[in-house]
Structure 1
C-alpha cells in the first residue's frame, strides 16, 4: 500500500492543539462485550480531558457478519471508522487500517490479533508511535495451545518490539508478556464503569443468580446450568438470569441446553438487552456466578461487585488474581456441580447473616477500578511513550495530505 493512499478525516485548525489517539480494535460499539466496553470508556475519559479520539474497527459484527455497519459515525462523541475485513473473527484481515493513521499522534492497538501484527510490521509505512493493550493475548481457549505458544514466542515477540509499551490488563498477562518484552510491559488493570449498575442489587438475600457475558464456549454456560440443576433440586426458589449477546454459541443452542435439564422455570435467557433492562434484572438478584474457563481480566466481576452482587467464580487465572486482591470474592470449581452448588448456598447464607457488611466490602472494592483513576494511568503512559520516542504532536493534515 503506497503511503500516499493514507488519508484522514477533515479537521479544523482549532483542533491542532489537542493530541489525537487512534484506537484500533477488532470490534466496537454497537457490539457489547468486555473489550468494547474498555475502549469506549477509555475514549470517553480521554474526550473529557481534551484529547481527540478515533476508533478504527471492522465494519460488521462477528455475530452477524452479513450486516454491514456504517463506514463512519460518531458515538458518544467518539469518531468511529469501520473498515472491511475477511478471514477469522479471531484474526480478521483488515489492511485498510493504514488509511486512518496519518494524523495520529499515537496509535493504541487493543488485543493481539491481525492489527497488532500488521501495524507492527508496517511501522515503516505509517511511522506512528504505538502502544498496545494485551487484553489476554490470544489464549482465550486451550484450543491449538501448542501452535499458539510457538506463535507467541516467535511472531508475537517480533511484533511486540515495534511498540513503545505493552499494557497488560491483568497480572497473568503481565507475567506472560514480560517474557517477551520485559522492559516495556506495564500493568494497568482495566477500569470498570462502576456507576452503570451501582448498588442496584436486591437489598435482602435472594436465591437468584445473575451471569453476564457474551455467549461463548469459554464461558462454560453448560456447567453453570448443571449447577443450577443441583440447586433447583435442593430448593425451588433458585433462579438464574443469563444475560448476554450471541457469539460462538447461539440462542437456540442455549435454549436447548436449558430444556434438556428441565430448567425452564429456573433459568431466564436475556439476549442483547440494554443497560436499563440489565439493571432491572440485577435488582431482583443477590449473587453473581461465572463458570468461565478464561477471562482477560474479569471486568464483569467488578461490575457485579459495584452492583452489590456477591460473585462466585470459577478459579481461572484472572478470577484468582481478583480474589487475591478482594478476599470476599468466592471461588468454586464449576466442573464439579455439587461443589459449585454448595459454594453458592454458602454465599447466600453469608448474605442472610451479614448482607450489608458484605455489600459494603463489594462496592468499596469495585470503586478502585473507577475509570477516572484508570484513564489517568493511561494518559501518563501515553506521555511517557511519546517522550521516549521524542515524538511531538504533528500538525494535522487534511484529507489526502501526508507527511
Structure 2
C-alpha cells in the first residue's frame, strides 16, 4: 500500500514539512519485547506513509541499567533519542522528555506509566496534542491491587483528560478504560508482524511446545514447568522451549526451577537468541503455551498462530478476549497443573486427524492483525487528534 495524503496539523502545513509524530516509550531497541515491537513496527510504517517519526525512550535497558546506550541513534530510519532516568522500572522518572517533544505535531505515549502522567500534568506548558495507547495499563500483576485500583480511578482518570484519544489495544483494555475515559476511548487492537514466523510450525504433530516472552513473574513460568512435568510423566517425548530474556527472573532462577523438577532433558532455555534460532525452534514444535496471569493484548500468541502453532493459554482477560474471537484457541487454568496438562494433551490429539486444516485456520485468524490494517487505524486517530 503506497503513501497516502493525510490532513496535517496547521503548524506542519505552514512549515511545509510532514507531520512529526513523537513516540514516547520506556523501552525500545536494542531491547526486545512486545512494547518495543509495537512501537518499532508502527514507526516504520508511519515513515513509509510520509510521516516523520522520533522515538523518545530511556537511555539504558532495564535488564542492564548500568550500561548507557547512545543518546541519539537512527534505527531503520527512525530517530531514537534516549534520555536519563531514575527510580523503578515500572515507573521510570525521566523528565527530560519535555526537551524532545517541543517540535512535535503529535505526541503518542505508549503505556500508562511516568511518561503518561508527567506529560498530562505538564500539558499546559508544552501544549502538544497527545494520544496514548494503553498496552494493558498497570495491572500486570495482582501486587498492590487495591492501591492500583485507587490510582486508576483517580490519578489515571485525571491524566486521561489531557489526551485526545485513549487507544486501547485489546477489548479488555477498552472495557476497563472506558469506565474512566468514556468518549475518548478507541479500540485499535495491536498489529502483529504476521510474516516473521509465517507458516513455520511443524507440518506433523510434535509433542514439543514453545513459550516466548520476558522471564517475568507475571508470565508464571513455574506453572508451565509444573504442566510440563505432568506431561513428561505420561509421555517422555514432551519438550518445552522457553524463549526470552531476563526480567524479574534470571536465567539462573529458571534453571533452578527446572532442575528442582528433574526437567533438564525436557526443557530448553533460550536467552536473547536471534530470530533465526526462534524460527528453528518453532519449526520443530506444534503447540504454543502461556501461563501468564496478565497480558495487555496477547501479541506473542497471535505471532504463534501465524506460525501455525496451536495456542493453549491461561484464561486471563486478554486471552479470553482472543479466544472469543478465534475458536481454535484453547484456554486452560494453569494454576491446576493436572487440568492444564490434560488441555495440552487434548490440543495435541485434536491436531492429529488433520494438522494441515488446523494450521490453515490459525494462520488465517492471525492475518486479521496485519500491521498494514492497524497502521491505517492509527493514522485516522492521529488525523482526528491533530485536527482538534
Shorter-chain TM-score bucket reads over 0.9
SS for the counterpart of 2:354 is helix
1:205 is matched with 205
The equivalent residue for 1:17 is 17
What is the SS of the residue equivalent to 2:211? Answer: strand
Once residues 179 and 349 of structure 2 are traced to their aligned partners in structure 1, the CA distance between those partners, rounded to angstroms, is 43
Post-superposition offset of 1:350 = 1.2
Superposed displacement of residue 17, structure 1? 2.4
Q: CA deviation at 1:126?
A: 1.0
The structural deviation recorded for 1:30 is 0.8
For 2:299, the equivalent position in structure 1 comes to 299
CA distance in 1, matches of 2:152, 2:344: 37
Mapped partners of 1:387, 1:54: distance in 2 = 20
User: Shift of the alpha carbon at 1:165?
Assistant: 0.3
In the alignment, structure 1 residue 85 sits paired with structure 2 residue 85:
yes
Gaps in structure 1 of 5+ consecutive residues: 1-14, 389-403
Unaligned runs of 5+ in 2: 1-14
| Counterpart in the other structure of 1:5 | none
CA distance in 2, matches of 1:326, 1:17: 43
Corresponding residue SS for 2:353: helix
* Correspondences of 1:147-296 after superposition (within 5 Å): 147-296=147-296
The separation in 2 between residues aligned to 1:83 and 1:52, in whole angstroms, is: 20
Q: Which residue of 2 aligns with 1:95?
A: 95
CA–CA distance in structure 1, aligned partners of residues 358 and 156 of structure 2: 42
Aligned to 2:3: none
Aligned partner of residue 55 in structure 2, secondary structure: strand
Q: Distance in 2 between matches of 1:16 and 1:193?
A: 33
Instruction: Name the CA distance, whole Å, in 2 between partners of 1:64 and 1:358.
Output: 41
Aligned partners of 1:191 and 1:203: how far apart in 2? 26
Aligned partners of 1:311, 1:278: CA distance in 2, in Å? 16
SS of the residue aligned with 1:82?
strand
SS in 1 for 2:66: strand
Structure 1 CA distance for aligned equivalents of residues 283 and 330 of structure 2: 21
Alpha-carbon distance, 1:351 to partner = 1.2
Deviations 1:72-131 (A, max 9, x none): 101111110000000000000000000001111000000000000000010111111000
Residues in 2 aligned to 1:20 and 1:275: alpha-carbon distance in whole angstroms: 31
Higher relative CO (Cα under 8 Å, sequence separation at least 6) belongs to 1
Q: Deviations over 1:257-292 (max 9, x none)?
A: 000000011000000011111111101101000000
| Separation in 2, partners of 1:30, 1:249 | 19
Q: Give the match's secondary structure for 2:189.
A: coil
TM-score by length of 1: 0.92
RMSD of aligned residue pairs (Cα, Å): 0.8
Who is 1:354 aligned against?
354
Distance 1:293 1:307 in 2: 23
Q: What does residue 107 of structure 1 align with?
A: 107
1:57 Cα deviation from its structure 2 partner: 0.2
**1-side partners of 2:300 and 2:188: how far apart?**
17
Instruction: Look up the match of 2:62.
Output: 62
Runs in 1 of length 4+ with deviation above 4 angstroms? Answer: none
Partner Cα separation in structure 2 for residue 183 and residue 112 of structure 1: 18
Distance 1:382 1:88 in 2: 31
SS in 2 for 1:137: coil
Quick one: distance in 2 between partners of 1:235 and 1:76? 46
Quick one: distance in 2 between partners of 1:249 and 1:78? Answer: 31
2:48 matched to 1:48? yes
Provide the secondary structure at the position in 2 that maps to 1:311.
strand
Aligned counterpart, 2:317: 317
What TM-score comes out, normalization by structure 2 length? 0.96
Shift of 1:317: 0.2
How far apart, CA to CA, are the structure 2 residues paired with 1:236 and 1:92?
Answer: 45
Q: Determine the structure 1 residue equivalent to 2:10.
A: none
1:30 corresponding residue in structure 2:
30
Cα distance in 2 between the residues matched to 1:353 and 1:210: 22
Shift of 1:16: 4.3
